[in-house]
Amino acid sequence: MSRDGEKKIAVAVLVSGGGTNLQAILDAEARGELPHAEVKVVVSSRADAYALKRAEAAGVKTVVAERKKCASQEEFEDIIEDAVESVGAKIIVLAGFMSILSERFTSRYPERIVNVHPSLIPKYCGKGFYGLKVHEAVLAAGEKVTGATVHYVNEIPDGGRIIFQQEVEVKEGDTPETLQRRVMEEAEWKLLPRAVELTAERIAAE
């Protein structure tokens, strides 16, 4: 129950890899920083994603939806939607989820799908900019400042309304890996739980 006695808003988290952003949300929830939200299901696009172990350790339901095993994008998205609906989730969080979702899917959840992107949108975003590729591009361009953006998801990759942004310094001698870690620690892991709570609080008040 949330602080005002209302039922918490159920959250579905979509993952593909290690699940560090998922862990940031689970840790924030454990610290009591998500009074209006509760992670109820984690859906992974890979059966071997370590994020599934993180979910299981937290007692959260897990579902695997592998695009390559589905006959179509629609079938893939239907598995995800079934998982979301099975727990009554009102918020979907893309936490290192490496599959693009179609407009058919995103339009069903307007301003309820939250994504974190490791740059200051509109820089270094859109098709082809993901993971270490973003940080490689930032370093190649000689940027002194980068950061992370949390935004709502629509049919345009990285094109939805921005919720929060946080700048992060690019330091002398940074590699894509060291920069990625600093952006996670100083921006992504802080902004994403805040955005989940902000969205849950808005939905709870509707």
The set of catalytic residues is 117
- The answer to whether 179 and 146 are in contact (CB under 8 A) is yes
Specify whether the backbone of 45 is left (phi greater than 0), alpha (psi in -120 to 50) or beta.
alpha
Pairing of strands 9-15, 61-64: unpaired
Q: Is the dihedral of CA 31, 50, 191, 195 positive or negative?
A: negative
Q: What is the DSSP letter of 156?
A: S
Element (H, E) at 148: strand 145-152
SS3 for 11?
strand
Distance CA 86, CA 9 (A): 14
